[in-house]
Chains A and B, each alone.
Chain A
């Protein structure tokens, strides 16, 4: 079975990134947006693993990078969910479109 090349992995990562991006833009509910942001984060990790496996880059660096990336994403999700819950408790909705009081 044909070996999977670097370009294939990068393309996969790019595709995943695009899916996540589209999800973030078109979603109405905040939770939906959070989930799609997570997909984008994962696509970056796939990208890193692709480079680690196929290109001559020092593998250790790639692993550090992806571990730190996961740390960052975990922190973001923690804060994101806290905010969404707080908003829900206050405004009884997590639909982003309803939250348009601040403008101008």
Chain B
């Protein structure tokens, strides 16, 4: 234990403040409250409103909280970047909850509960400095996501997507846990600081690789991204907007922190990450070019963006990477927020319309404000200044270039230019295409009611026809407004944000 103390105190002054855990605790409470909402004769969307308020309070709490809080004997450490990440996650969650409260169709209580649990897991995961806590937090974040993907029980695609997501994730997380157990066995302790002291042996190397592969799967980085397109295409854009952003954000933080603290021991960490980065960029871009479904397109765009982040992480994992580790951490966190905010924005705009690109047709005529928000989110994803995407990419590429990955940065620039092609198709759909048929309900929602098999077993009580509560335009506006604010301000205020992160 002494070695842990010396290492962590070298850069983290001890300070006991369990108050920081208020946010996750409140969220778990909200989850229980929303599960039993119908017992308390509370209207369906009230849960989402409460969750939104809690998330907002949690975000402020995290933002204004003290720095360098160490809990549970250095297992959970809220340094500057962890607090920023937690605030970011809570802001995203708050936006999602506001949107659900405003325009969630059908029963939203359970979705709120699941989301609240997942967020609390994510808030813990960003600060984990111990293998067990990390695994627990990651599982807590991703399990509700499996269920959220399959949320519409009466639609086979949703369930099929959820099952695939579940089985593949469990398989890869078992890889991860197996690797973690092996590392624990060899190093004698589960704390990252101890793992750094691990001597390099073929067995420990294999364990580390398995651990990283598990994390790759969580982030849907290439060779292990197969679940993402099917899982997202199966379910509604509303649930995908959560499942595609918050777990991924937590996964990014974990892998960045892990590489920063542990990788020095493993010389091959950099090449492994580079393989993952290049594979993700290449596979994600090519596959996305021919997509006709918004959710699938954003799934592949997610793969590409994770590729960019892995590139920076790989840069900081190199032999002389230590000098760049802080900037790498900072730029990857900033870029992760920029990317997730934009993706959630696009998906929330698409939730009102429907999953496929053709559903977005004529959006500029129906909902001009939403169409312009969509355009801004897409431009941020492309990386057009002065939006967040550009500054995120600028810092990412400059750090990677400075750390010596010039070749891969050139690949990344080419991928950015190619990505402009398929992102523009979103704008093209929203602004130029004319909606073919005037059927208000898109094909997904039509399916919701159509394939309710008549002879469904009694206990699953055919879903009461979802009394469509009126979507309050103000709520949708607020949700998109929050995300828009993040996209616009992150770029311009990147100066103070970086000072906060370091």
Contact = CB atoms under 8 A, between A and B. Distances in A.
A99 B227 CA distance: 13
Contacts of A82: 147
A69 B160 CA distance: 27
Contact of B189 (A57, A76, A102): A57
Nearest to B457: A89
A26 interface: no
A104 interface: yes
Interface stretch (B32-40, B179-187, B271-279): B179-187
Nearest to B147: A79
B163 A55 contact: no
B135 A72 contact: yes
Q: Which of B160, B189, B291 has the most CB of A within 10 A?
A: B160
Interface in A1-55: 10, 17, 20, 24, 30, 33, 37, 40-41, 43-44, 47-48, 50-51, 55
B183 to A, nearest CB: 10
A90 to B, nearest CB: 5
Contact of A41 (B150, B174, B182, B457): B174
Interface in B287-323: 291, 293, 296
Using C-beta atoms within 8 Å of the partner chain, give the interface range for chain B. Answer: 35 or more
Interface in A71-104: 71-72, 75-76, 79-80, 82-84, 86-87, 89-91, 96, 99, 101-104
A47 B181 CA distance: 7
Interface in B152-173: 153-157, 159-164, 166-167, 170-171
B178 A37 contact: no
A62 B184 contact: yes
Nearest to A72: B139
Contact of A102 (B167, B182, B230): B230
A80 B166 contact: yes
Q: Which of A33, A37, A86 has the most CB of B within 10 A?
A: A86
Nearest to A17: B178
A96 B160 CA distance: 9
A30 B171 CA distance: 13
Contacts of B131: 65
A57 B167 contact: no
A83 B146 contact: yes
Given A68-B132, A75-B143, A57 B184 contact: yes
Interface of B: 131-132, 135-136, 139, 143, 146-147, 150, 153-157, 159-164, 166-167, 170-171, 174, 177-178, 181-182, 184-185, 188-190, 229-230, 233-234, 291, 293, 296, 453, 456-457, 460
9 contacts: A24-B171, A30-B163, A58-B188, A65-B190, A83-B162, A102-B157, A102-B230, A104-B233, A104-B291
Interface of A: 10, 17, 20, 24, 30, 33, 37, 40-41, 43-44, 47-48, 50-51, 55-58, 61-62, 64-65, 68-69, 71-72, 75-76, 79-80, 82-84, 86-87, 89-91, 96, 99, 101-104
